[in-house]
Structure 1
Amino acid sequence: MSSLSFISSLENILYFQAGLGILDNMFLLVVYIFIILGNKYKSIDLISCQLTFVHMMTFLAGENFWLADILESLRVENDFKCKATFYTKRVMRGLSICITCLLSVFQAVTICPSTSLLAKFKHKLKKYMISTLFYIWSFNLSVSSNLIFYVGAYTNVNETKQLKVTKSCSLFPMNYFIKGLILTVTTSRDVFLVAVMLTTSAYMVILLCRHQRQCKQLHSISHLRVSPEKRATQTILLLVVFFVVMYWVDFIISVTSDMLWMYDTVIRIVQKFVVNAYPTIAPFVQISSDRRIVNVVKKLQS
């Protein structure tokens, strides 16, 4: 198989993944909207709805998809198109890790026993949920604004000083101080949030194991039933673990590419596949674990 046909095959897989990701996130978003409008939603539904929207926008802002096509149809210059698509994708990436972390923290606080130190945050977390989401959006919209200045249309002028990342877009060199500052802020944010997710995940695993032992002492194993809280906790644990694994694979690829100032086509496709893996799989995990979604679908069919 030639290199061109191999790349073409990888791109077809990437398009299939993106199409699947758009469909399942769009379906889940519609379901969450029905649940929220029905006034029977939980606070965690607001977080999940936001996460689903972010994942859908991650795909729609991808190269050769919705956002790029709209800008192309409007005959917008490539420079603005590159800035808009790259900025949107970077913001969505930041929102994905922040909201996933919030989801993990919220569930850990929800299932904590009344004697725990986290118990006093239960009411506060629900009360300030909207404010928390607003600050998360504001922070990510501002911290990614540097791309407006350092991303643009690819040109042949001073070609060696540009890092070509798509057929028509490239990253331009930036001051070492600014580059170091941005890298420090984003890396610190990501490392901190991943650490929080791992900590809350470990805490939830401990609580689940403790609850499991207590149930075995009171009942026979055959009569044990999985409670909605336990099912939701297991779902979030699965999402967090999968996100962390995909995040570090993406982080290693990104750092290696930046350090070597290299952006090979195959590496770019593989990185996109890794980045899109979490938003593609997450909706299926959420749908399979939430019985309310099945009930909403039945109501829509009737």
Structure 2
Amino acid sequence: MDLCITIKGVSFLLQTGLGILANASVLMAYAHIAVVEARLQPVDRILAHIAFANLLLLTRGIPQTMTVFGLRHLLDDPGCKVVIYAYRIGRALSVCLTCMLSVFQALTIVPAGGACLSRIKSYLPKLVVPTFAGLWILNMIVCLAAPMFSIAPRNGTVPPFTLNLGFCHVDFRDNLSYVVNGAILSTRDFTFVALMLSSSTYILVLLHRHARQVRAIRRTQGSSMEMRAAKTVVMLVLLYSLFFGIDNIIWIYMLTVAQVPAVVSDMRVFFSSCYATFSPLLMISSNKKIKARMVCAAADRPAPDLTEKSNAK
């Protein structure tokens, strides 16, 4: 097997495997917290939802990896539509929910400055579930184009204005639908990323003030916990912005050519999925609740009975 193909296949395999394991661990930790504590904090619900969106996004990595290693005809037309639709929704929810997390955290830690702001802050927990529903509906509508144009690979050359994903093709038929679809998705992504960066910049300003007035702010444990959570949110936003920038540089290039090389499409898939792989690792390392549940799970694992082994001998 060619060295480049091997490297690409192993990269997709590691990314997909590590991402699925990490996100599943985050979801199981939050499920345990929900059962034990009977409820989840709003920020925890958003983080759990991000982990679920990441799992949807990473479903594409399985057929992608199998295709790289030479397996063909994995999916028929309906299968392509399902996988591509799940991937698109997962990718869209990833940016929208990270933006939601950033805005929510900024509003949570903003100093109370009046009755209006106090009312907004008190209503925030009640808005989490309706916002989830709104984002799902929005992205299920916006992402309809890709599955409509998704087909299983046909024998012969790849037609123009087609995204060659290896295991599936997304054939947009003509330049207009190709560019319009890309423009709509890019507008949505850039809008949410701009809002995300704006709220994160505000969080950084508040963190800077907190560092200068740390004694006054840390009179209560709650403020300290909010500031730690804010730092995690900022790190998640920076991580997303890094991979979003690489992803969209490749995407803009793809919009300028009629026929996209498979290697370019593979690069974009890899970088667009990096956030889904690394964000749960950041959650686990920075969130004491998740770490505590994972440590408890490891501690509760029964140790091997040495007495029985010695008697067996």
The alignment's TM-score, normalised by the length of structure 1, stands at 0.86
Alignment-derived partner of residue 25 in structure 1: 23
Question: How far off its partner does 1:170 sit?
Answer: 1.4
The 1:173–1:64 alpha-carbon spacing in structure 2 relative to 1, beyond 3 Å, is: closer
Question: How far off its partner does 1:283 sit?
Answer: 1.0
Higher mean displacement: 75-84 or 286-295:
75-84
Alignment-derived partner of residue 88 in structure 1: 86
**8 A Cα contact 1:152 1:169, kept in partner:** yes
Question: How far off its partner does 1:57 sit?
Answer: 2.0
Higher mean displacement: 201-210 or 54-63:
54-63
Alignment-derived partner of residue 287 in structure 1: 284
Distance 1:246 1:124 in 2: 33
Higher mean displacement: 262-271 or 51-60:
262-271
Residue ranges of structure 1 left out of the alignment (5+ in a row):
220-225
Cα offsets for 1:191-241 (capped at 9, x unmatched): 11111111101100111111111126899xxxxxx9221111111101101
Distance 1:180 1:277 in 2: 25
The 1:179–1:13 alpha-carbon spacing in structure 2 relative to 1, beyond 3 Å, is: closer
Alignment-derived partner of residue 246 in structure 1: 243
**Residue 6 of structure 2 is aligned to residue 8 of structure 1:** yes
Aligned match of 1:233 in 230, 245, 254?
230
Residue ranges of structure 2 left out of the alignment (5+ in a row):
301-313
Q: Please give the root-mean-square deviation of Cα atoms over the aligned residues, in Å.
A: 3.0
Distance 1:265 1:159 in 2: 10
Alignment-derived partner of residue 271 in structure 2: 274
Cα offsets for 1:132-177 (capped at 9, x unmatched): 1011011111111112321112224674336251334212234555
Q: Percent identity?
A: 27
**8 A Cα contact 1:25 1:55, kept in partner:** yes
The alignment's TM-score, normalised by the length of structure 2, stands at 0.83
One-letter amino acid of the structure 2 residue matched with residue 23 of structure 1: L
Alignment-derived partner of residue 222 in structure 1: none
**8 A Cα contact 1:154 1:164, kept in partner:** no
Cα offsets for 1:109-130 (capped at 9, x unmatched): 1111001775442122211211
Alignment-derived partner of residue 297 in structure 1: 294
**8 A Cα contact 2:75 2:168, kept in partner:** no
Which has more radius of gyration?
2
One-letter amino acid of the structure 2 residue matched with residue 35 of structure 1: I
The 1:252–1:298 alpha-carbon spacing in structure 2 relative to 1, beyond 3 Å, is: closer
Figure out how many residues of one structure are paired with residues of the other and give that number.
Answer: 291
**8 A Cα contact 2:150 2:171, kept in partner:** yes
Equivalent position SS for 2:61: coil
Question: How far off its partner does 1:261 sit?
Answer: 2.7
Give the 5 Å matches for 1:187-206: 187-206=186-205
**Residue 119 of structure 2 is aligned to residue 129 of structure 1:** no
